[in-house]
Amino acid sequence: MTAWREVADGVVVAVKVQPKSRRPGVQGTEAEGAGAESRLRIAVAEAPEDGRATRAACAALARALDLPASAVALHSGAASRQKMLHVTGDPTLLAARLGAL
C-alpha cells in the first residue's frame, strides 16, 4: 500500500514527522503496524512548537520532489506527528517522483 493517493489537483501524502532530528530529510516509507497504511517518514530539526515542524516537513517534501515550497501544504493533522500533506501538481508525475524516494 502506498503512502499517497492521487486527487484531482495533485496527491495527498501520509507522513510521519520526527521533530528535533539530527539528520533532517525524507527517510523513506514505513508501516505503523500489521495492515496499517504506509507513511512517508520526514525528519526535521525544528521543534514541534507553533507549527514550525509542520512547515519544515512541508519544505523538506517540496525539496525532495523538486517543487517550490508553495506546492506543499498541510491537509490534516496539525497537532499530530502523523499528518496528511497536499502536494499540488500533476498527479501522475508526482506519484512517479514519490515512488522514487
Angle at 12 between CA 8 and CA 14, to 5 degrees: 165
- What does the pLDDT average to over 28-56? 85
- Structural domain including 35 reads 4-99
Query: Whole-model pTM?
Result: 0.90
Please indicate whether residue 62 or residue 38 has the higher confidence score (pLDDT). Answer: 62
CATH number at residue 29: 3.30.1200.10
Distances (CA, A) of 3 to 33, 48, 53: 14, 22, 20
Residue 8 has pLDDT above 80, yes or no: yes
Q: Give strand ranges (E) for 1-101.
A: 4-7, 10-18, 25-31, 38-43, 72-76, 82-88
Instruction: Please answer whether residues 26 and 18 qualify as being in contact, where contact means their C-beta atoms are separated by less than 8 angstroms.
Output: no
Q: How confident is the model at residue 55 (pLDDT cuts 50, 70, 90)?
A: very high
CA distance 73 to 70: 7
How far from the centroid of its chain's Cα atoms is residue 17's Cα? 8
Provide the number of structural domains found in the chain. Answer: 1
Residues linked to residue 85 through DSSP beta bridges, in sequence order: 13, 74
